A and B are shown apart, each in its own frame.
Chain A
């Protein structure tokens, strides 16, 4: 028997039409029906189809939920519905320890508390002063840090974001006040790769040791992954 070019449906030969036409037409109709269904597996309004790994057989993708957008799955093998916003990646640290900063001594600020840490950027047990970029998270980051000192107008109050114990990426300094507490902020957008670590260092030159303030929101450090 002859077959069609694209879907190989069996079609009756001229002689077969004479001999058993009805049966041949039924076979062709069944084949067309099966193929059509394979190509259009949708069952519900809003469904879409995409090609499966088998030729001429599509896969049904049910409609997503409100606000979702069409994406490629994590294995890059098929489309899927997902959030219009990427999942947050980053960490947000804070300290209420009242860390003592010796005068004229650059000191790494340690963080025992985390608001957010999506990918183990930080440990509250070891190297608590560091935020380390995990494997698979190379890219651009927004990095920020803040320290806060009590009222005193003597000397300087400075904070640095430092990379890999060598390079100061960003520096912030504020004039200390006799009646106002001094908040020193600094931030930068920078490319980091897995294994890189950043620290928040600070120094003050009041002449004696000074503790960082313990008020909530005084001593902060964190980063946000912006993209590859």
Chain B
């Protein structure tokens, strides 16, 4: 575990995705200790790159993100949510 500067806002799932997209392998959730310090289970060689990603991390509400993703899919299919529900039974 390596200690990092904490971003202003944090979405752990989103951060893992951002790190994985940058080829930094990590599966454990970020950990914030009692002093408010952020710890990540990344390798020492990836520390600098990780901090850069953290510096630009802005937490997005996953629910809103998922809702937007869902709407985009519905738009692509040209159907409404109710119609999609009907199709799925």
Report A's interface with B, CB cutoff 8 A.
Answer: 102-108, 110, 127-130, 154, 165, 199, 201, 203, 205-209
Q: Which residues of A contact B65 (CB under 8 A)?
A: 207
Residue of A nearest to B65 (CB): A207
Determine the chain B residues whose CB is within 8 A of the CB of A129 once the complex forms. 33-34
Q: Annotate B51-89 by CB proximity to A: 1 below 8 A, 0 otherwise.
A: 000000001011111100000000000000000000000
Is the Cβ of A108 less than 8 Å from the Cβ of B59?
A: no
* Minimum C-beta distance from B27 to chain A (A): 12
Main secondary structure of the interface of B (DSSP, over half): mixed
B residues with a Cβ closer than 8 A to A are: 9-16, 28-35, 59, 61-66
* Structural contact, B33 and A108, CB atoms closer than 8 A: yes
In the complex, A222→B59 CA distance in Å?
33
Q: Which residues of A contact B31 (CB under 8 A)?
A: 105-108, 201
Contacts of B33 in A (CB 8 A): 108, 129, 165
Contact A102 B11, CB 8 Å, known A207-B61, A208-B61, A208-B63: yes
Which of B28, B29, B35, B65 has the most chain A CB atoms closer than 10 A to its own CB?
B29
Q: Which residue of B lies closest to A105 (CB)?
A: B12
Determine whether the beta carbon of A127 is less than 8 Å from that of B66: no
Give Cα distance in the complex from A199 to B33, angstroms: 9
Chain B residues near A103 (CB-CB < 8 A) = 10-13, 59, 62
A-B pairs with lowest CB-CB distance, top 4: A129-B34, A104-B12, A207-B62, A104-B13
Contacting pair A102 B32 (CB below 8 A): yes
Find out whether the CB atom of A105 lies under 8 angstroms from the CB atom of B32: yes
CB-CB under 8 A from A104, the residues of chain B are 11-16, 29-30, 62
What residue of chain A has the Cβ atom nearest to residue B35's Cβ? A127
B59 near A199 (CB under 8 angstroms)? no
Determine if A130 and B62 form an interchain contact, defined as CB atoms under 8 angstroms apart.
no
Bound complex: CA A228 to CA B11 (Å): 43
Contact (A208, B30) CB under 8 Å given A104-B12, A105-B12: no
A196 to chain B, nearest CB (A): 16
Task: Determine how close the nearest CB of chain A comes to the CB of B65; give it in whole angstroms.
Answer: 8
The answer to whether A207 and B34 touch across the interface, beta carbons within 8 angstroms, is no
Complex interface: chain A residues within 8 A of B64 (CB): 207
Q: How far is the CB of A37 from chain B (nearest CB, A)?
A: 64
